Amino acid sequence: MRLLRLFSVLSLFIVLGSAKILSYEELKDEPKSLVKDYYINRLINEGSYTKEQIKELAKDVYRRAGPVQKSIDKILPPAPKPSLCPGVNPKNILDANITCQNALTTISFALKLDIKTRTQLAAKLADFYPQKAQTLLILNDENPAVKFAQNGDTKNFMALFNASSISQTMKFFGTEFDASFMDKFYQEKGFSALLNDVVINKKYDAFRQNLLKIDENITEKNDAFMLGINAITLKNDTAALKFFAKAKASFEREWQRDNATFWLYLISKDEIYLNELAQSSDVNIYSLYARDFTNAEPFEVIVPRPSKEKPENFDVTDPFLWVKTAALAKQMNAEQASEYAKRFYTKESVGAYAYFMQRAAGWDKHYFLMPESLELEDTNVTRKSMIYALGRQESLFIPSLISTSYALGMMQFMPFLANTIGKKELKIENFDQDDMFKQDVAFKFANYHLDYLEKFLFHPLFIAYAYNGGIGFTKKLITRDDMFKEGIYEPFLSMELVPVTETRNYGKKVLANYVVYSALMGSNIKISQLFEILSSPSATDKFRK
């Protein structure tokens, strides 16, 4: 079976030289961006500056949830937030004024009080804050969760769930709740987070039975899908079918619809779903799997093969330049983006070429870039496929990309890991973490890091998990008693239960990339074969027996 129809483009980027640590003068006029955040962070931790300079640069922080804000806070500590009720705690709450008593007695706070104290507080609050008084008295009940449900109080029901200890949760929530209340609870703020937590971690089975009562017609997208996974873990295929059907109908992205369709196929064994997947235009593990068992047309993939070495007047290792260039794409129509892409049709800048061509095509074309590098010349097909699969997912082969966590370059190495490898392990003279913006360096480090990972992991999915989430995370994941073992819906159920959403989706996408790149380089590996061996430790890793 032909997996791919290859379109080779025969007729875009890597100037060496890194920005290193930029001074205040070099940074002050640069636009807000993750790149500027990264260099402000480097300046604070490695350079010279004045407090006034940092105060000015702090005005331009692009993402305050990132590392740069923590660095700024060390130089310019934020003013402490005034406490509404300083010094008041569960031991002296009865001595506080009534305003503080009302403000502080959240469900979490109130659970720390004994029954007598809650009763006394309720009496004090009854006239001015009757709802709070009622809540405190409900917490004295043998099962406050049942009382909140009877009152239709989804807000306090949620707060109680989140504030309860494990033993309290099992006691309060391990009972049946009405379907009408569960429908209302589905609409409560925070439901999605709760759903993901209890399903992914397979906690509180008795409570999760109540989630099966939710009317699938009010659900959508990720919630509907996760309710389907919940039903699978509780061995209720009938409920799972309903939720997956709703997820499929409401998902907007094709790969997500394919994910739901695949589960409909697994449960029903109806080949209508398999044939539907085989007609999907999205390259993902599910559409690839379907093509293993049908006569569907192969995917059309584009592999640009420029002959020119580098673009004119463009430094592909300059992250500020890439930010400004990518911003241009957002202002262009399809024709403009396609025309602009031509200037990047070189070996160095093929990532930028594909980026603009994808913008022009609405991201509907499948570009599988295979950048050339001396570091890959003697690399075997398996390793090269793995590196390309990771690079495509990490950066779309943009050499100077910086992520929200400040992962750097084409292969997205975190600074601490880049410095450990570059300075301590490879002992590269004058190495700087910004050298990761050089394509050859990025591939060299990826090769080196994979040498380490592949001492323990042999399967591309597990390698992807480790590349994204760390080898410790992956070891803990795959050695769990309930993960990647033989089972009716394995390994697909385990793949849905990876506890970190980013890593869960990352693994799926890298695995699909790996199969495509393997095919492009002449391998006949099928994704169905890769799925089959996931439950065989000897074929996948050294951690399991």
Q: Cα–Cα distances in Å, from 238 out to 37, 214, 230, 241? A: 50, 13, 12, 5
Planar angle of CA 463, 464, 466, nearest 5 degrees? 65
Name the pairing type of β-strands 299-304 and 366-367: parallel
Phi first, then psi: give them for residue 235, nearest 5 degrees. Answer: 60, 40
**Cα–Cα distance measured from residue 155 to residue 189, given in angstroms and rounded to the nearest whole number:** 8
**pLDDT tens, 336-395?**
999 999 999 999 999 999 999 999 999 999 999 999 999 999 999 999 999 999 999 999
Average of pLDDT values for 177-188? 99
**pLDDT tens, 84-131?**
899 999 999 999 999 999 999 999 999 999 999 999 999 999 999 999
**Cα–Cα distance measured from residue 59 to residue 306, given in angstroms and rounded to the nearest whole number:** 42
**pLDDT tens, 340-352?**
999 999 999 999 9
**Cα–Cα distance measured from residue 511 to residue 506, given in angstroms and rounded to the nearest whole number:** 8
Q: What is this structure's pTM?
A: 0.94
Q: Catalogue the long-range contacts made by 117-123 (C-beta closer than 8 Å, 24 or more residues apart).
A: 117/90, 117/93, 120/94, 121/93, 121/94
What residues have CB less than 8 Å from 358, skipping those under 6 apart? 365, 367
Q: What would the 3-class secondary structure string for 147-184 be? A: HHHHCCCHHHHHHHHHHCCHHHHHHHHCCCCCHHHHHH
pLDDT of residue 241: 99
Would you give the end-to-end CA distance of the chain in angstroms? 35
Indicate the domain borders of the chain: 24-74, 319-539
Q: Is the separation of the CB atoms in 185 and 150 below 8 Å?
A: no
- CATH number assigned to the domain with residue range 319-539, chosen from the 4 options 1.10.530.10, 2.40.50.180, 3.90.1010.10, 3.40.50.170: 1.10.530.10
